[in-house]
Amino acid sequence: MLLRRIPLQSIFETLRLNPAPLSTLSKPQKSLPAAYYRGGTSRAVIFKREDLPTDRSAWDDIFRRVIGSPDPNGRQLDGLGGGISSLSKICVVGKSTHLDVDIDYTFISLGVKNAHVDYSSNCGNMISAIGPFAVDSRLFPVRSNGPEDVELRILNTNTGKVIRSRFPVVDGEAAASGDFAIDGVAGTAAKIQLDFLDPAGSKTGQLFPTGKVVDEFDGIRTTCIDVSNPCCFVLASEMGVEGNITPEEIDAHPTLLARLDSIRRQAGVAMGIADSPEDVPGSVPKIGVVSSPAPNTRASEQGQTRADVDILVRALSVGQPHKAVPITVALALAAAARVPESLVAGVTSEKPVDPAGITLGHASGKLVVGAQFEEDGSLGHATVFRTARRLMEGKVFWKC
């Protein structure tokens, strides 16, 4: 059979006159003003409430598309998420209508591989960025020149609790540079003090929502406590793991994540958060594995011996091992450590490493958290120090 040769020039001319259709579904992208901040060991896209649709039912789809969820590959490359729970977050900030509060702040946690959009919890790391954002975006006016320290009262709408934020300002903007370092973040920055006021009962109305200091789920003793977020704590020894287990080892463990999630969901029902384990949100209660610092080689390498920290904690966030520790988990842990009957108190050093509070050994280093109880036994406030920084502001785009 003879094949007829077609000149290349004829082929190119045919393609030029009859180009292949690209897509009949192409639409221009949508956009909104937004900023991107690091807060503590987390990052989030921050919107002004006034820039979002007044119809809140439209928010979820915008947030998913902006952050890049759901992504079956778990990388969120088509959005601003970072493929892990601590980097898959949205914050909404606006002026408060309450007389004793300066700013309202709503936190939204998004699933990475799934389409979950969760408004049920606060984020203690990202709260460190809310005050700086309010100053940088002129929601909270400050002097336009010279350095000063400012103080804001921020209402977290997810929990109804108030956080007092104190930080330096330079030339009308939140200071970024400083000499304060936090484990899990490279370099130093300006120190931000966060006082969580009357933090007990954020979702449940009680410090110990089950009515007990120690419960039992799946045969594992558990302390359930509600400080800034509902949390539950189990002992590493009862879970059959070392207290300084790494996030990678937690992920690789054949049964640990499933067992912890089962305990967490049962605790959520016992705390009154949901009627059934299946209905318990992914973000609360949070769960942590605690233990006393162990005198071994790994503890020495991590700087988490008894001379360095008072207690070890490895926490989960939305089903994933946290690379550091959620601040709300740290606050709950510090409060539980002051209650002698709790599991946390039983593994916390009696003589603190730092008189300022409880020093926690987490997956990326150390964190000091203070908890102040009043004479009547109520939890007055809990304090933690973080850093934050504006990374980007402008418009964020998403596909229709």
For the stretch 25-35, pLDDT in tens is 678 999 999 99
The verdict on pTM exceeding 0.95 is no
Q: Is the pLDDT of residue 2 over 60?
A: no
Q: What is the pLDDT of residue 8?
A: 59
Percent of the chain with pLDDT over 90: 85
Q: Are 42 and 87 in contact (CB under 8 A)?
A: yes
Mean pLDDT, residues 196-200 taken together: 95
**pLDDT, tens only, 45-76:** 999 999 999 999 999 999 999 999 999 999 99
Q: What is the pLDDT of residue 305?
A: 93
Mean pLDDT, residues 331-335 taken together: 95
Q: Are 161 and 199 in contact (CB under 8 A)?
A: yes
Chain CA centroid to CA 104, Å: 17
Q: What is the pLDDT of residue 169?
A: 96
pLDDT band, very low/low/confident/very high, at 377 (cuts 50, 70, 90):
confident
Q: Is the pLDDT of residue 40 over 60?
A: yes
Residue of 181, 174, 176, 224 whose CA lies nearest to 204: 224
In angstroms, what CA-CA distances link 3 with 6, 191, 368? 9, 77, 80
**pLDDT, tens only, 171-183:** 999 999 999 999 9
**pLDDT, tens only, 84-135:** 999 999 999 999 988 899 999 999 999 999 999 999 999 999 999 999 999 9
The encoded tokens of residue 244 equal: 């300084």
Pairing label, strands 42-48, 103-110: unpaired
The three-class DSSP label of residue 331 is helix
Q: What is the pLDDT of residue 202?
A: 94
pLDDT band, very low/low/confident/very high, at 18 (cuts 50, 70, 90):
low
Q: What is the pLDDT of residue 268?
A: 98
**pLDDT, tens only, 218-246:** 999 999 999 999 999 999 999 999 999 99
Q: What is the pLDDT of residue 252?
A: 97
